[in-house]
Structure 1
Amino acid sequence: MKNMEASRVAKHPGVNIREEIEKKAKSEIGSTDTIKLYFEKIRKCPLLSGKEEKRVALLVEQGDQQARATMIESNLRLVVNIAKRYMNRGLPLQDLIEEGNIGLIRSVERFKVSKGCKFSTYATYWIRQAVERAIMNQAAVVRLPIHVSNDLSKMHRVSGEFQREFKREPTEEEIAGRMGVRGRYIKKLQRINRKISSMDAPLADGTDETLLDRLPDDNVIQPLEHMSCGHRKDRVRAWLSTLEDNERDILSLRYGLGGDPETLEKIGRRFGVTRERIRQIETRALRKLRQLGEEQDIDSLQAI
């Protein structure tokens, strides 16, 4: 699935991310040269001014594929800058960049100019989320025997190549044939993969949160402690725009960003759900803002 999403970037001229990713996937030999070449290519991609960014983003919303490509290319350096901050945490830089590029693609597809924030602010959340989840998944893989970890990577690569070639998911037998192993071994690898992927699955408490979402981070400033001061409303809108609509609405009501603060019970009546459900959504939204605050100039949170 990862390779499928990454390959979608390759449907435009300019930087061929798919080509670079596939080179890396096929061989670790020369990976340093590959990433240097990639850096050279993305340095040639022009950055967009604020006005250009809005114009291109509006075209993306209308389904313009060339505008989508332009938006992605102009922000590839943002991905690299963020990925570098996660080095020495279990994944090589080229893998971090690949994951970050997937997050960038998602942000381009979800971004709305009407949200009133800079695209880089919005994209940073999605890039960091993609990178951090990859690191957590890798942490689980590291505990596996090295040959199993390598075979899992090979299975993903073979599956991605098959999907791009035939436009469908391969069967266990088809994967086994390409890897030169027995079908029962592929079933074993898939069971292991499902356990690793379960960290991204929603928890069974009705919150829509994943295990990764529940991982605590006590070293980050609580952004809503500063938001209530009311200064720099444009920055507040930018942060809130990274949230889902219901999360944004609930925080606005809860902290009085558009009027007087409301209780959990009152907000619950507005939305037709229990106060506990509102509390869960509030907690999830605050966690997202803490993650964003860690990356988006943490000192500026105190100035709001």
Structure 2
Amino acid sequence: MFRKFNYLKHKAGKLREELDPTRPKSGLMDQIEQLYEEAVAVKNLIIRSNLRLVVSIAKRHVGPVDNFFELVSDGNMSLMRAVEKFDFGRGNKFSTYASWAIMKNFARTIPDELRRRDRFRTSNEEMFSATEDVRSDQYEQEHAQEQREQQIGKILERLDDREQKIIISRFGLVRGQEPLTLKEVGAEMGVTKERVRQIEARALSKLRKAAQEEKIEIPGL
């Protein structure tokens, strides 16, 4: 996919150089636009294929006072930038490159991760090992994760069915389910992606209020 993505961008860029801004040819402009649209479609496919990776890494990094949903949002931005910068010609796997980019971003935004990055930054493998050792006791990790899921499930009950579906779909809160884009959720529900965005914002506001009322500290609100 990256070979096709880079080829489409390169070809569109070359044609753009041939474009005379004073007398642009409509046929050439249409061709450039078509190439860019195809490139964006390939890019979006790559992003959708790796959204679950963002959620997985965010779950490993989230702490008791961290915002899980913000971490996912930040991770998605890192994923998008990684797609643009990835050089497939070097022979590396994109998942490895993207994981590194996402965790490096988290290391800048989470103080504890920043300290760990300063201690373990000699290689990608060491960084991956450091993130796996955030908590020394695996049982405590699993127990904390179960508690978070129970707490999230409790306040999700405060939302109506449509709001619940959007939050669960957007953030991949069901195990084994990949996060969906605004457009994908909208297609499932028969509404525009902007409408999904509005409902999502309203639902997150309700969740924050519910968490405060229940005196529950949810990483993600």
Give TM-score, length-normalised by structure 1. 0.30
Q: Which structure exhibits the higher relative contact order, with contacts defined as CA atoms closer than 8 Å and separated by 6 or more residues?
A: 2
Q: Which structure has the highest helix share of the two? A: 2
TM-score, with normalisation over the residues of structure 2? 0.40
